[in-house]
Amino acid sequence: MAHTLTTGSHIQRRLQPIAVRLRLRDTLLLASKTLWIGVLGSALLQIIGRFFPIPNLLLLSLIPVSVWLLVILGYMFLRPLPMRRVAQRVDSMFDLRERLATALELDKHETHHALDDQQQADARYHAEQLRPRMVSLQIEQRPLMMAAVPLVIWGILAFLPNPQDLILQERAAVQEAVQQTADQIEELQQQTAQDTSLTQEERAELERQLAELERQLRENQGNREQALADLSTAEARLQQRLDPNTDSRQAALEQLSRNLQSMSGQPATQQPSMDQASQQLRELAEQIEQMTPEEQQSAAENLNQQASQMSQSAPQTAQSLSEAADALQQGNTQHAQQSLEDASRSVEQAEQQQANQQAVERSLSEVQEAREQIAQSGQQQQGEGQQGEGQEGEGQEGEGQQGEGQEGEGQQGEGQQGEGQEGEGQQGEGQQGEGQEGEGQQGEGQQGEGQEGGQQGGGQQGGGTDASNLGEGEGGQSDIDPNQGDDGTGHGSGESDLIYQPFNPDGELGNPDTIQGEIGEDGETQTQQGNSRLPGATGDSRVPYQDVLPEYTESAGEALDQSAIPPHLKDYVRDYFSELEPER
């Protein structure tokens, strides 16, 4: 019995290295048959990644092969392979007629016969002849060659440039821009919480909207459309909180402050605050009793004028000013003082509303800038390249056109100036005829004629003006030729120019608009006198500067109210029209 046990253990020891060899054989065979499955999955992912943006496509395409490799390794090391099964396979492989499997089975019996001992000895003999290298390794060639096709496809697609990478880069840039925007919104929310000029209700509502927008942006994973939709929704909500009369009311109250400063003999401030207007109304209320009747009537007229100008933008303040003016005209100083106090309080309320509106406009400006930043994120490099090419081509073309235009303009200007020196009677015809031959320089010819003949001429029909000074002449002169360039002597109503004049470094005049005349049979420009019998206007067709300024200011205020101008640029518009205001 001891001999039998020794024989069974000996056979198992001899079969152990062969079992390892069998595992390797089975693993290689399975791997060669199934390799194409993992490689095909990787190739399919690469193909899909050419049509859809997939982050980390290279690493993701390695997942099918990695899963296949894990399965193969698990099959090799974790698959159960009992010794009885090894013995059966070795018997079948080397035609041992089940000697090894029978010996292992007999080894389990408690009693043995003489024939069993002989069988054990024979099995032991054959087991000693076995070597692991005798078990050949097998690989299926055909499935392995099938795996080469998707493997080549995967290799080519993995290392060739992928057009979807641009989309992924754009998405990453959008996500970065969205996170930066969320940080800006968070900072704006903190500033709003610390702004003591806001009312408690306005601050709480504004903080709530900003917090909601920040949460939406934090949750965004690079979706540009969703981010723009969230920003547009927030922008629309902020737009609803804007008062369309805010800017016009502010402009009217600033103008009121300047007028009150002029009434009190103080120098006018360029951009006074509403607090100054409120204080000046209180001071005016205190000074009423000390005014003479004439001064009270003058103050009443000024207050009436201010009330009429503010009737649309600040009706409450305008009503108080109108009541104060009526009381002054009736000599009721006590009622006038009370009305001025009411006007001062309404200005303070307007100042509080203005602070609320400025906070909303500040938030709106941040949201608009963030929306533009996100809309342009990921496209800056491509846009810069296209812009550079476009600027290069346009610059070359523009230089050529500018050179031709300057050459033609110089010749035309000389001809017109010479004609202007011949006589006054032919000035109009010369200007019209010669002005239609060449575009853009009739203004120069008119300038020469005006200096020589002492009048502007009657034929200015051929071209537009090229005025660089739109203000009135110094000392109130109205016969200044608007087509003459600014020589430094023309000023507005005050001591400094009130109208912006662009600086031209080359000193040349711009290109005026002209209307080309008809060409006759001989190729020359023809002119004829009009047959209209309507009476013409006598004198210069001009409108006083002070008459048109309120209309322009009102139009600008309407544009500001309609948010046609970005909130962060509205102060520049108000400053511009403040500069246009004549000094009193």
Q: What is the pLDDT of residues 214-269, one digit of tens each?
A: 998 988 888 888 888 988 888 888 888 887 777 777 788 877 888 887 777 777 67
pLDDT of 484: 45
pLDDT of 538: 54
pLDDT of 72: 95
Nearest-angstrom CA–CA distance, 528 and 520: 12
Give yes or no for a contact between 468 and 450, defined as CB atoms under 8 angstroms apart. Answer: no
Q: With the C-alpha atoms ordered 90, 95, 97, 99, is the resulting torsion angle positive or negative?
A: negative
Cα 502 to the chain's mean position, in Å? 29
pLDDT of 564: 54
Q: Determine how many CB atoms are found less than 10 A away from the CB of residue 534.
A: 6
Q: With the C-alpha atoms ordered 216, 370, 363, 563, is the resulting torsion angle positive or negative?
A: negative
What are the pLDDT digits (tens) for 500-516? 445 555 555 555 555 55
Burial classification of residue 234, based on how many CB atoms lie within 10 Å of its CB (0-12 exposed, 13-18 middle, 19 or more buried) = buried
SS3 519: strand
Nearest-angstrom CA–CA distance, 508 and 402: 12
Nearest-angstrom CA–CA distance, 367 and 364: 5
Q: Determine how many CB atoms are found less than 10 A away from the CB of residue 132.
A: 15
pLDDT of 479: 44
Nearest-angstrom CA–CA distance, 487 and 469: 10
Structure tokens, 22: 């069998």
Instruction: Write out residues in the chain with pLDDT < 70, as ranges.
Output: 1-6, 268, 270, 378-543, 545-546, 558, 560-568, 582-584
Three-state SS for 182-209 is HHHHHHHHHHHHHCCCCCHHHHHHHHHH
pLDDT of 37: 94
CA distances 38 to 27, 261, 498, Å, are 15, 86, 79
Residue type, 149: V
Looking at CATH, the fold of the domain delimited by 246-355 is given as: Four Helix Bundle (Hemerythrin (Met), subunit A) (1.20.120)
Q: Determine how many CB atoms are found less than 10 A away from the CB of residue 1.
A: 10
pLDDT of 312: 78
pLDDT of 528: 52
Residue type, 396: Q
Nearest-angstrom CA–CA distance, 376 and 380: 6
Residues making up the chain, counted from first to last? 584
pLDDT of 442: 38
Tokens 């970005």 belong to residue:
566
Give yes or no for a contact between 297 and 352, defined as CB atoms under 8 angstroms apart. Answer: no
pLDDT of 42: 94
Give yes or no for a contact between 175 and 221, defined as CB atoms under 8 angstroms apart. Answer: yes
CA distances 565 to 251, 557, 569, 572, Å, are 15, 10, 7, 10
